[in-house]
Amino acid sequence: MPAQHMTLLRPDDWHLHVRDGDVLTDIVPETSKAFHRAVIMPNLVPPVTQVEAAASYRERIMQAVPAEHSFQPMMALYLTQTTTAEQIREAAKTPFVIGFKLYPAGATTNSAAGVTDVTSMAEVFETMAELGVPLLVHGEVTEPEVDIFDREKVFIDRYLVDIVDQHPGLKVVLEHITTADAAQFVTEARAGVAATITPQHLLMNRNDLLVGGVRPHNFCLPVLKRRTHQEALQTAAISGNSRFFLGTDSAPHAQANKENACGCAGCYSAPAAIELYAEFFTRMNALDKLENFASRFGAEFYGLPVNTNTITLAREEWRVPEQVVVAGQTFVPYWAGELLQWKLSV
């Protein structure tokens, strides 16, 4: 008889959006119930570019954490074309700042203030390498003539290979990878290069976005790719390779903003995040690999202690809600209406 309970070292989410204001208050508890740490993305309006702004944002997050939850937000700062060496030095001295996030301008939600010329950032990257500040990368080019399904590979070939080669001391995380090309690049790269993988890119491919009509709640950026790419990510996630670890990229948008003529990109996976990963590892007959992927590899990459407390999942079939209410608005969570085999015990 299969085990009816599974205990894991408490996991961390190395890529998360919690928004701000009233929405933040309802969003944060969904993550803090399962995860001890999370890397908080800085693409607010205005973006979080300074340590002082990150400290204020972090305080707002901490105020939303329920008293019974143990949760530590790790703040990423938003890299811009005008980021200075002094800003990097200040970040390096700030324990709760985990790195800088590179958004190519226009690549995703609230990225207009991002980097417009990656090739001119060499001095910034060198300073980050010298001070041990990691670079977190949204790896897509944005030129309209480049097919949206090719933008990750083009970014790797055009920019990331050189960044990694020219700055051998720089820690680099290629976020939310979506292609076999990205998985291969990370696998074969020098030490200090890693990647996060989302639940949606493990559980779905572009058929789940486009077949039978456009499904806006499965739309994210980078966009879901063909099945062969999904299979490459699946292989990487269950490989036991410590370069690959959990990052949900949970990105909440209200239903009205997803279901319109220009729907927002992002999957709101936080309400069932660890259960979604457990679903995937169960389907792959690789539950023995889940704890390292979710609870060890990310912490080890960032040089942080592995959590010692635990969570327990019960083998209990349950259905993800069709809708949830966040700050008085209706949101549709990722996997809405679908069954999962594991449920977090609280």
Place of tokens 């202690």: 305
36 marked among binding-site residues: no
Among 109-118, 132-141, 197-206, 335-344, where is mean pLDDT lowest? 109-118
Residue 201 annotated as binding site: no
pTM of the model: 0.97
Instruction: Please list, residue by residue across 70-88, b when 16 or more beta carbons sit within 10 angstroms of its beta carbon and e when fewer do.
Output: ebbbbbbbbbbeebeeebb
For residue 249, indicate whether it is catalytic: yes
Question: What φ, ψ does residue 77 adopt, rounded to 5°?
Answer: -95, 150
Q: Would you state the structure tokens that stand for residue 149, as one six-digit string?
A: 């399904």
- Identify the active-site residue in 13, 26, 181, 249: 249
307 has a pLDDT exceeding 90:
yes
pLDDT at position 54 over 80: yes
Is 260 within any annotated ligand binding site?
A: no
Band of the pLDDT at 1, cuts 50, 70, 90? low
pLDDT band at 294 (very low <50, low <70, confident <90, very high): very high
Rounded to an integer, the average pLDDT of 125-132 is 98
Residue 336 has pLDDT above 90, yes or no: yes
Q: Could you report the per-residue pLDDT of 219-246, keeping only the tens digit for each?
A: 999 999 999 999 999 999 999 999 999 9
Cβ-Cβ contacts under 8 Å for 336 (sequence gap 6 or more): 217, 320, 321, 322, 323
Q: What is the pLDDT of residues 5-52, one digit of tens each?
A: 999 999 999 999 999 999 999 999 999 999 999 999 999 999 999 999
d(CA 253, CA 266): 7
Task: List the domains of the chain with CATH numbers.
Answer: 12-308 (3.20.20.140)
- CB distance 280 to 48 below 8 Å: no
Residue 251: C-alpha distances to residues 125, 198, 287, 319, 345 (Å): 27, 11, 26, 20, 24
Please name which of 340, 252, 292, 243 lies closest in space to residue 11, comparing C-alpha atoms: 292
Determine if residue 221 is labeled as part of a ligand binding site: yes
| Partners of 23 in beta bridges | none
Q: Has residue 249 got a pLDDT over 90?
A: yes
Asked whether residue 288 is marked as a ligand-binding residue, the answer is: no
Q: Is the pLDDT of residue 289 over 70?
A: yes
Is it the case that residue 257 has pLDDT exceeding 90? Answer: yes
pLDDT at 316: 96
pLDDT band at 111 (very low <50, low <70, confident <90, very high): confident
Weakest-pLDDT range from 109-113, 206-210, 246-250 = 109-113
Q: Is residue 57 within 8 Å of residue 48, measured between CB atoms?
A: yes
* Whether residue 110 has pLDDT greater than 90: no
Whether residue 66 contacts residue 32, with contact meaning beta carbons closer than 8 Å, is answered with yes
DSSP state at residue 313: E
Residues 129, 132, 138, 139: is their CA dihedral positive or negative? positive
**pLDDT for the residue 2:** 76
Average pLDDT over the chain reads 96
Q: Is the dihedral of CA 328, 332, 337, 338 positive or negative?
A: negative
Helix (H) or strand (E) holding 133, with range, is: none
138 appears as a binding residue in the annotation:
yes
> What is the average pLDDT across 204-226?
97
C-alpha dihedral (265, 222, 95, 86), degrees to nearest 10: -100
